[in-house]
Amino acid sequence: MFSQDSLLRVLENSPNNLEVISRLAQSYEHSNSEKARYYADLLLKKSKSSDYDYKSRAYNTLANCYLLESDFFKAEESYLKAIEFSKKGGLKKNEGVYISSLAQINLNQGNIKEAINLYKSSLEILSELDDDNLDFFFSSIYGGLGDCYNQMGVYNEALEYLFESLNINERNGDHISTAISYNSIASVYDNLEQLEKSILYNKKSLEEIRKADYLIAEATILLNLAENFFKVDSIEAASSFLDQSFTMLNDNGLTFNLGNVYQLYGKISLKQDELEKAKDFFVKALELHEADGKNYYLFQTQFNLGEVEVLLGNYEKGKEWILDAIDSFSKNGFLRDKRNALGVLLDYMVAQDDFIDIKNTLTQYRSSVNEYLNEERQNAIIASEIKFEIAQKEAQIETQELQLEAEKVKRNWTLFGLIAVMISASGGLFFYSSKQKEKEKQLAFELSNLHNSINEMELQTLNQQLDPHELSNFIQSVSRNVLRKDEKLYNQLINLWDVTTIVLNHKEFTSDVNTEIENLKKYLIYQQEIVYPKFEFEISNQLTSDDFLVPRLLLRNLAANAIKHGLKGIEGKIEIRLFEESEYIHIWVKDNGRGLMNGSFYSGIGTGTYQTIFNKLNLKNKDKARIEIDTNTPNGVLVKVFIPKNYNYS
C-alpha cells in the first residue's frame, strides 16, 4: 500500500500515470473531498474514452465525495455514470459494487422497493464471479436488504439477511461491520417489540464499535439504546443515553444523526406533556432531515409535528402534517408507519367530531391494514389483533355518528313541532311526538347494539389475558393434590374460580379502587399457590376515597408482569402503593427482582397497553394520565401510574 507522499512523488515523474492518479483520488475520499474531486476530475480528463475502468473509478470517487456532503442527487448521477462505464468495459465486479452503492442511496432516501431491486441485481452480478475477495460487498448487500425488509415490516426476511451479513463480518473480524450488523438486528427486534433482544444486540454493537474507536457509530448506538428505553417508558434511562449521544456528536462537531437525537428529545418532551418544548425539538429535527433530502426520519418527524399541533389545539394544521406523513409513508413503502398514522388520525378525527373525511380515512385504514398484513406475513394472532382494532374504530365512529344524528333529529323535530303548533294545536303535536319518540327509540336501540358489540369484542380480548400456562400449571397441581387428598384443594379451586370470574364477568371499562384491590388480593393469593419459589406481597391503600375509578384489571396486570418477569424463578416481594399527591392518584407497583436490564421486559397486557389507552383518553382530558418505569432502584423495577382525580374515561 503506497502512502500519499510516495504517490505524489511518482506523479511528479509520471504526470500521466492513470493508476497513480486513481489511487490518489481514492486516498483522499474520506479525509479531503476537495483533493479527491480534483484527482477524480484529473483522471477523467487524462483518460481516453476507452479507459472504462479508470473512468468508472473516477465517477465512483466523485459519488463517494458527494455522499459525505449529503448531496444525494449528484452522488446518484455519479454512480450511474460509474455503472455505465463499467458495463461498457465488461467490468462486472465494478458494476455490481457500484449498483449496491446506488441501492444504499435509494435506501437512505426511502425508495425501498427500488433499493431492493438494485441490491438483488448487484447480488446476482457478484455471485457469478469467481472471486474470493468479495466478502465485504456480500456483507454490505445482505445488510442493505435486511434494512430494506425491516423498514417494510417483513421481519423474518430482514433477520435472515442480517444474520447472513453478521456471519461474514464475524468470520473476517471486521469490528465496524460487525457492529453495524448487530445494530441492524437490534432494530428489527425493536420493531418486533422484543426489547430485551434489541438491547442485547445494541450492547454487542456498542462493544464492537468501541474496539474500532468510531465516534459516529458509537453515538448512533447510544441513540438506539435511548430509543429502546423510551419505548418501555424508562424516561430517565432514555434521557441518559440520549445525552451521551448528543454530547459525543456536539463535542466533535458532527451533524450525522443529530436530527434523530432532536427527534427523540421531542418525543420525550411530548411524553412529559411539555408540548411547546417538543415542538421546538421536532422543528430542529425537521430542518436537519430536510437538509438530507426526503427520507424515513423526515416523514416520521412530519407525523410527530402533526401530533403536537393537534395537542396544542391547532387541529387543522396538525391534520395537514399527518396527512403529508401518511402520503410519504405510502409512496415509499413504509406500510407499518402508514397504518399507525392512519389509526392515530382516525382517533383525532373522532375526538374532534371531524366527520367530513372520516369514511375515506377509514377506507384507507382498512386498505393499509390489508397491505401491511400481506407484506408482514405475520401470524394469525397479530392479524386478529389488528382486525379487532379496525372493528373497534368502526364501532366508535358509528356510535359517535349516531349520537350526532340523534341530536340532529331532536333539533329538527323540535323545530317541526313548533311549526306544527302554529298549524294545528292537536293532531300536529301528536304526529310530532310519536314520530320523534319512534326515531329516538330506533337510534337508542342501534346505539345499544353498538355498545354491546364493543363490549363483546373487548370481552373476547380480555378472556385471553388469563395466561393459559397458569391454568395448565394449576390443573396439574390440583391433579396431584387430588391423588394425595390434599386439604387445600377446595380453597385452590375457589381461588381459581374467583380469579377467572374477575376477568370473564367484569365488562365495564373502569372499576372503583376498592373492587380492584379486592380482585388484586384474590389474584395474588391464587398466584402464591402456583408460583415457585414463593413470593410475598404488600398492599398499602392511602386513598381518601374508595370511589376513585381506575381502568379495570390495571392493578392485576401490573402485578402479573412483576411476577412473570421480575420474580420468575427467584424469591421476592411485590409492593403495591396507592396514595394521593396534589390532584393525582398515584399507583406504584414495585418488585425486588431482576430489574429491567437483566431480566425480561414487561410485555403482554402491561404498561404499553394502558399507556395507549391513556394516550387516547388524554385527547379529551386537560390533565393527562401517564405511566413511568423507574429502573433507578437498588433491585427490581418500580412502575408508577399517575391518574388525575377528575379524569374522564368516557
Task: Compute and round to an integer the Cα radius of gyration of the chain.
Answer: 31
Measured CA to CA, the distance from residue 12 to residue 24 in angstroms comes to 13
Q: Which residues contact 348 (CB under 8 A, 6 or more apart)?
A: 310, 315, 318, 319, 322, 354, 619
Lowest mean pLDDT among 162-171, 309-318, 496-505, 527-536: 496-505
- Which CATH architecture group holds 468-644? 2-Layer Sandwich (3.30)
Measured CA to CA, the distance from residue 209 to residue 419 in angstroms comes to 81
Q: Which residues contact 595 (CB under 8 A, 6 or more apart)?
A: 566, 631, 633, 635, 636, 637
* Residue 61 reports pLDDT greater than 50: yes
Measured CA to CA, the distance from residue 596 to residue 225 in angstroms comes to 13
For residue 604, give the amino acid letter: G
Q: Indicate yes or no: pTM above 0.75.
A: no
Give the model's pLDDT for residue 406.
54
Q: Which residue has the higher pLDDT, 279 or 28?
A: 279
Give the number of other CB atoms < 10 A from CB of residue 532.
11
The residue count for the chain: 650
Measured CA to CA, the distance from residue 566 to residue 229 in angstroms comes to 17
Lowest mean pLDDT among 67-81, 236-250, 344-358, 420-434: 420-434
Give the model's pLDDT for residue 600.
43
Q: What is the mean pLDDT of the chain?
A: 78
Give the model's pLDDT for residue 451.
45
- Residue of 154, 151, 143 lying closest to 178 (CA atoms): 143
Q: Where are the domains of the chain?
A: 383-463, 468-644
* Residue 606 reports pLDDT greater than 60: no
With cut-offs at 50, 70 and 90, classify the pLDDT of residue 500.
low
Q: Which residue has the higher pLDDT, 507 or 602?
A: 507
Q: Which residues contact 287 (CB under 8 A, 6 or more apart)?
A: 259
Give the model's pLDDT for residue 612.
72
- Residue of 528, 606, 530, 609 lying closest to 574 (CA atoms): 528
- Residue of 94, 103, 55 lying closest to 75 (CA atoms): 103
Q: How many CA atoms lie within 13 A of 331 on its CB side?
A: 12
Cis peptide before 551 (omega within 30 of 0): no
Q: Kindly state the percentage of the chain with pLDDT values over 70.
A: 73
Residue position matching grid coordinates 399527591: 581
Question: Tens digit of pLDDT for each residue in 5-51?
Answer: 888 888 888 888 999 998 998 888 877 888 999 999 999 999 998 99
Lowest mean pLDDT among 181-190, 224-233, 378-387, 506-515: 378-387
Question: Tens digit of pLDDT for each residue in 442-486?
Answer: 545 544 554 454 444 444 444 444 444 454 455 445 544 544 455
Mean per-residue pLDDT, 86-106: 92
Q: Supply 564's cell numbers.
A: 412473570
Q: Strand order of the sheet with strand 535-541?
A: 535-541, 572-581, 584-591, 637-644, 626-630
C-alpha distances (whole Å) from 88 to each of 50, 82, 83, 92, 575 are 9, 10, 9, 10, 73
Collapsed DSSP state (helix, strand, coil) of residue 601:
coil
Give the model's pLDDT for residue 247.
92
Question: Tens digit of pLDDT for each residue in 582-594?
Answer: 899 999 999 888 7
Say if residues 297 and 289 touch (Cβ distance below 8 Å).
Answer: yes
Collapsed DSSP state (helix, strand, coil) of residue 646:
coil
Give the model's pLDDT for residue 472.
45
Phi, psi for 535 (deg, rounded to 5) = -130, 160
Question: Tens digit of pLDDT for each residue in 556-583?
Answer: 888 888 887 777 667 889 999 999 998 9
Mean per-residue pLDDT, 54-82: 88
Produce one character per residue of 493-511: b if its CB has 16 or more CB atoms within 10 Å, e if not.
eebbebbeebbeebeeeeb
Measured CA to CA, the distance from residue 505 to residue 482 in angstroms comes to 28
Task: Report how far Cα 55 is from the mean position of its chain's Cα atoms.
Answer: 44
Collapsed DSSP state (helix, strand, coil) of residue 577:
strand
C-alpha distances (whole Å) from 310 to each of 108, 352, 537, 566 are 29, 10, 42, 38
Measured CA to CA, the distance from residue 43 to residue 52 in angstroms comes to 11
Task: Report how far Cα 559 is from the mean position of its chain's Cα atoms.
Answer: 25
* Residue 430 reports pLDDT greater than 50: no
- Residue of 356, 311, 304 lying closest to 328 (CA atoms): 304
Measured CA to CA, the distance from residue 548 to residue 266 in angstroms comes to 33
Measured CA to CA, the distance from residue 626 to residue 617 in angstroms comes to 11
Question: Tens digit of pLDDT for each residue in 130-161?
Answer: 888 899 899 999 999 999 998 888 888 999 99
